[in-house]
Structure 1
Amino acid sequence: MPVIAQLLTVVLFTCLSFAARGEKLRIVTEPWAPYVYEENGKSLGLDYETTAIVFKRLGIEVEWQFLPWKRCLSMLETGQADGALDIFHSDERDATLLYPSEPLSQVQFVMFYANDRPHPFSTLDELRGLTIGTSPGYLYSQDFRESTLFTREPAPSHEANFGKLVRGRIDLLITDRRVGQHLLDELNIRDKITENPAIISQQSQFLAVRRNAGMDLLVQRFGAELKRFKREPAYAELSARYGAAPPNALNSARSTATTAKTVEQQESGAQ
């Protein structure tokens, strides 16, 4: 290999590898089971484990922090974190963040109501006069965010939202289907809460990193390795463990989902 090519290779991998600079990639995320969470001091979840495997293959060490979502976004904005796990794409964020071409997972947003105060619905127009539990630091679609038909009431955590729903302090709450189903079992309230069957919207979740030197190449490598891993039996086994739907089922659900009226996006704290 010519000397100049060798030098370029060294420079390239120096930019890409935090380990080469004696640093770790600082990734923040909010517990969002079954995608990413902690249990008995161990980090788990479909997206967490997938990301950890990909970074290990790339030879990149990661320092993880599990924090409330608004705190995660604040750390991204101030440079205290290099990236965020399970973040949604938004055009506004493109100026500061880079996204791989391959998403980690797909989420489906639905609403839940208490069995003793049922509020089944098909459209937002049927929610007139109701109070909907939301999550701080999340940005919802314009239709949902600006509607005057109902009231939006945030809670400090997803668990707190379900507690408010059980106690009758809110009429419904909005969250990802699998996150909600996980919490019904975690909180032992499956006999008290029902999931409204209408899929409000779908969204891809990504690992995104700040726009710094070398990060564009890191994102390219991450996306390519993630796509490769998803074709392996190991990923199929991991997906099955966390109850992920097969790709054809996701595509079918996407085609029948309601037009994005309540897209729930993890967005910047300056909403």
Structure 2
Amino acid sequence: MLRFILTVFALGIALAHAPVQAQTIVVAIEDKDYAPYYTWVDGKPEGPCVEITAGAIRLMGAEVEFARMPWTRVLNSVETMRADAALCGTKTDERISFSHYPDEPLLNYDVTLFVRSDSELTTSDPEALSDKTFALVKGYSYASIDDRLEEEGMIRVEATGRDSLIKLLMLGRVDTILDSRLPVFTDAKRLGFEGQARALSPSLAETPAYLFFSRKPGYEALASRFSAALEEFKSTPEYDVIQQRYGL
């Protein structure tokens, strides 16, 4: 009997140390570029949001699969628990209601107003911009800055996508647009408007962007595991290389 017990005990130790199949975390990601934070190249996502996420998930001993879809479906797929997580979103009360946020953000976005280079506007002070129009991408979150601009008397215009956002400004349909510096200047260059937009100073906010998780059973703990792995990843040389590559 003692021999049998020892055999079972030894088997238990062996199983405990046996390799197990790595968990695959399905991450929903917008199908449009938000350069340089995430872009699509030959059907594969690139950019700091993607690379930081993948690096942290590797440290968890898991694998990542990116699922490409429109931004509204990204949010819906997390809310309906068809995806495990979404990249690379800011925190809002609405999103908190259907997702778990890790403590550690992937990176920070600036929230900035932009004008055409020939605009007479010189400041981002909302009081000086009363009655001016500002455009933003429908469905995006701007750390509630958009609500504050409306409260200060600015007029909201919603663009259907990033290309539309830039074109509204370049065609003079709106006075300003609200977004982040790196994506706006990247999009303007791609659309043939390089040098024709400038940022109003100062930026209105810095807002953290996260990999946020669905409310599947056990995923609050998964978000905490990811947060710890992300914090660890940020101390690695690989993370330093990513920051330098994208000018973060």
TM over 0.5: yes
Which of 73, 78, 88 lines up with 1:76 in the alignment? 78
Contact 1:97 1:208 survives alignment (8 Å): yes
Percent of residue pairs identical:
29
RMSD: 2.6
Show the counterpart of 1:28.
28
C-alpha displacement of 1:57: 3.0
The correspondence of residues 192-271 of structure 1 with structure 2, limited to 5 A, is: 192-244=196-248
Structure 1 residue 66 displacement after superposition: 2.9
Query: Aligned AA for 1:25?
Result: I
The one of 114, 117, 122 aligned to 1:115: 117
Q: Residue 99 of structure 1 aligns to which amino acid in structure 2? A: Y
Q: Does the C-alpha gap of structure 1 residues 209 and 38 become closer, same or farther in structure 2, counting only changes over 3 Å? A: same
Q: Give TM-score scaled by structure 2 length.
A: 0.83
2 CA distance for matches of 1:130 and 1:220? 43
Q: 1:148 offset after TM fit, Å? A: 6.7
Q: CA 1:148–1:58 in 2, change beyond 3 Å: closer, same or farther? A: closer
Unaligned 5+ runs, structure 1: 245-271
Q: Counterpart in 2 of 1:260?
A: none
Q: Give 1:71 deviation, angstroms.
A: 2.2
Instruction: Structure 2 unaligned segments of length 5 or more: list them.
Output: 1-7
Q: Deviations over 1:212-260 (max 9, x none)?
A: 222122222211111111111111111100001xxxxxxxxxxxxxxxx
SS of equivalent to 2:174? coil
Q: Conserved in 2, the CA contact under 8 Å of 1:108 and 1:177? A: yes
Deviation at 1:172, TM superposition (A): 0.8
Q: 1:95 to 1:194 in 2, by over 3 A?
A: closer
- Range with bigger deviation, 28-37 or 192-201: 28-37
Give, in angstroms, the shift of residue 92 of structure 1.
4.3
Summarize the Cα distance change of 1:145–1:120 in structure 2 as closer, same or farther, 3 Å threshold.
closer
TM-score w.r.t. length of structure 1: 0.76
The structure-2 alpha-carbon separation of the partners of 1:77 and 1:155, relative to structure 1 and needing over 3 Å to count, comes to same
Q: What corresponds to 2:3 in structure 1?
A: none
Q: Note the C-alpha offset of 1:186.
A: 2.5
Is the 8 Å Cα contact of residues 113 and 124 (structure 2) preserved in structure 1? Answer: no
Q: 2:194 aligns with which of 185, 190, 194?
A: 190
Alignment check: 8 A CA contact 2:27 2:83 kept:
yes
Contact 1:164 1:170 in 2 (8 A): yes
Out of 96, 99, 103, which is 2:98 matched to? 96
Structure with higher Rg: it is: 2
- Distance of aligned partners of 1:129 and 1:91 in 2 relative to their CA distance in 1, 3 Å threshold: closer
Distance 1:145 1:116, change over 3 A: closer
- CA deviations on 1:29-87 (whole Å, 9 max, x unpaired) are 22322111112333211111111122233232333123332221122222222211111
Q: Relative to 1, partners in 2 of residues 1:163 and 1:92: Cα closer, same or farther, differing over 3 Å? A: closer
Q: 1:118 to 1:67 in 2, by over 3 A?
A: farther
Q: 1:41 to 1:94 in 2, by over 3 A?
A: closer
